[in-house]
Structure 1
């Protein structure tokens, strides 16, 4: 690590999603080649699927970022350290009981190497931590836990609150890391004297160059510095510095009243938005009897699900929700084959669906391919796999046979 540029990254969520790929790449580029990268799995180590989460994360960083990551807790000599989702309090208890908390503070104090903390891990970085599992899932009274206060090394007295703009609750307020306005307002007076809330939206990162103290907001959301009765909002594309953030956290105005610089940045699209777009395209294609267009919408959604497959968080519009939408669209494709439209159109639709099934099978996504075949059967089309490819025939005594021999799909 000695000689490696110092950088701190705090992410609100989306740490292993396509929206944060360029953020990770920019950090790795700063370090140069041959960087030793360590994944701290502590926040989710208690989960039964911990090994699977680690494998997905390692695959994401290898495939999308170009860095091989080892799982462990020896962070002292690492050039790049990452930690993400899980339980903030579980991580706090383990890290404060071992050398990890001290090692993380030492990294920031020395201002060497990259430290990337996201979601639950980011929640531990401040002077106070939201015990989100205990409050939101168990029903404990709203309260803070003492944090690692890593940011105190940088002169920041703040409580980091990721998932700041969360909307998963739908009918109830889940902003502010699932606290909602009522709970956060109740908790703010209990913060240590002079402390502010540093809120980081989902799929958003605050990147701090520890050598120059320059700071950048990247991603699709905002960073909010909140104090009782006031707040400062830094949208994506904002360039500022640590001193400005310190002043805002103390409730002071910016130096000479000069606001941070905001530059246009490419808007990051969430999986939820992509899913809605594909659903709309699919509906329009079916309404226009455009079988190929409907299949393209399904294929595009499947491709996006594959891109987001490594995401370890379940924000609004997560992978599982997108898969449910995909299965629904596949079912609708199969049902459409039973509609009283002209025979050539039915043939075109079924063959387009079989093309999709063939693509899914080639990708090894047999569960979705089987779901599509079942959907076709419910719609009155029997698919038989042969050495020469799949063949289909209408089923049911009340159906008119298709003209000509059974069609061969892809």
Structure 2
């Protein structure tokens, strides 16, 4: 059984992390049991939905048949992700799961993947992000699992390190911001270091070889005493080199392998790109290119449908934009040749119906009707008819005299 510890800053059930999951899963022997620890979000009303989406993601995108569980005994592969770090810790420390996780890593056995909230718990101390950011508690640390300490790394893990959702206020460093993280750093035990994992980024630790690789879109920041070093995606170091960075206050640089893989777009970036392409096509005007931008937006929504974190608005916000763009296609149809527009619009409608998005497909049919194209669904498929011309109400003749 391989010994891997994978820590993710975010994006654990998104397309950006698919290759990281697949690489870890390839190391498993046939028939290995795969477990999803739902503890961090088990208190949420939509916990069952989060688990279902995660299971679909691992089954269809990674090729793992995952069971939802509250324990890890006998599992070759263990995953835990979003939710509340402190809620998870309370239950893991009180149930024996914490000891099981420590034993897996210490014995260098099995694949253990901890992401987002669960990644917070992996260090010697944990960021209580809900309590500080949501409830206004004073900055403080909670106990952590200390998974890296057997390898000489006294570190806290801070996911969402480069978060920028705050806009006008600082939400970096797992929503702490610089002011609060600086204060909390001074309260860490002597020699402890912050390992900051950017969003859609993973630290893959080979426990047997004692090597580490940064994968994904961002980097790993080693921060201590006001100094920091950043290992970019693609960097490969030994744990001894990582310890050297930590012990030297991150003032020296470890040798790294430069990135080789092309950076994948997040959902937010993909949605923004589709929106800009639509705007450019509408300005020309080019209805076919505009319709293609909507089709590509729908494809991105399908790709990201299993994402459980829903960064920056998530899939629902993307769907809202798609509805808006479909409405704008109707405006383009009024000024463009309907013949050029009909085919891509009907293709889009067929894709929407195939995905079960009947509400959006119906909205598109209404747009087509306004543009002069009536669509009737038959057993043989959609059938196009010219829409009946709109009739202005007749004005009664003026009475003489």
TM-score of the aligned structures, taking structure 2 as reference length: 0.91
Distance 1:122 1:97 in 2: 19
Separation of aligned partners in 2, 1:258 and 1:217: 13
The answer to whether 1:99 aligns with 2:91 is: no
1:290 matched to 2:281: no
TM-score (norm 1): 0.90
Deviation at 1:134, TM superposition (A): 1.1
**1:335–1:376: 8 Å Cα contact kept in structure 2?**
no
Partner residue, 2:387:
393
Instruction: Confirm or deny: 8 A CA contact 1:167 1:174 kept in the other structure.
Output: yes
| C-alpha distance in structure 1 between counterparts of 2:175 and 2:320, whole Å | 24
Structure 1 residues 145, 262: CA separation in 2 closer, same or farther (over 3 Å shift)?
Answer: same
TM-fit CA distance, 1:5 = 1.2
Cα deviation, 1:188-237, whole Å, max 9, x if unaligned, reads 11112221111000100000100010110000000001112100100000
Aligned equivalent of 1:65: 62
Residue 26 of structure 1 corresponds to which residue in structure 2?
Answer: 23
Give the distance between the partners of 1:186 and 1:395, measured in 2 at CA.
70
**SS at the partner of 1:159?**
strand
Q: Measure, in 2, the Cα distance between the counterparts of 1:393 and 1:289.
A: 23
Aligned counterpart, 1:157:
154
Give the Cα–Cα distance (whole angstroms) in 2 for the partners of residues 36 and 319 of structure 1: 30
Partner residue in 2 for 1:368: 360
Aligned to 2:126: 129
- Once the 2 structures are TM-superposed, how far is the Cα of residue 384 of structure 1 from its aligned partner? 5.0
The runs of at least 4 consecutive aligned structure 1 residues that moved more than 6 Å come to: none
Q: How does 1:235-274 map to 2 (within 5 A)?
A: 235-251=232-248, 259-274=255-270
Residue pairs, 1:207-218, within 5 angstroms: 207-218=204-215
1:398, 1:220 → 2: CA distance? 57
Deviation larger for 243-252 or 217-226? 243-252
How many Å separate the matches in 2 of 1:381 and 1:226?
62
| Alignment CA distance shift 1:71-1:258 (3 Å) | closer
Stretches of structure 1 lacking an aligned partner (at least 5 in a row)? 400-410
How far off is 1:337 after superposition? Answer: 2.6
Contact 2:222 2:246 in 1 (8 A): yes
Deviation digits for residues 253-312 of structure 1 (CA, Å, limit 9, x no counterpart) = 799x75233342221221122112211221222223322211111111101110110011
Aligned residues: 390
2:174 maps to what in 1?
177
Do the aligned residues in 1 keep the contact of 2:237 with 2:254 (CA within 8 Å)?
A: no
* Closer, same or farther: CA 137–373 of 1 in aligned 2, 3 Å: farther
Q: Is the 8 A contact 2:373 2:384 kept in 1?
A: no
Alpha-carbon displacement from aligned partner over 1:127-162 (angstroms, at most 9, x marks no partner): 111111111111112111111212222221111000
Q: Are positions 1:320 and 2:316 aligned together?
A: yes
Cα distance in 1, alignment partners of residues 82 and 290 from structure 2 = 36
Match of 1:203 in 2: 200
Contact 1:166 1:177 in 2 (8 A): yes
Q: Structure 2, unaligned stretches of length 5 or more? A: 394-401
Q: Is the 1:380–1:395 Cα contact (8 Å) retained in structure 2?
A: no
1:47 and 1:374 map into 2 onto residues whose CA distance is: 38
Structure 1 position 114, deviation (Å): 0.5
Match of 2:302 among 302, 306, 319: 306
Q: Does residue 1:219 correspond to 2:254, yes or no?
A: no
1:355 aligns with 2:347: yes
Q: 1:87 to 1:253 in 2, by over 3 A?
A: closer
Residue 387 of structure 2 aligns to a residue in which SS? strand
Q: 1:244, 1:254 within 8 Å by CA — same for their partners in 2?
A: no
Cα distance in 2, alignment partners of residues 132 and 316 from structure 1: 17
The match for 2:8 is 11
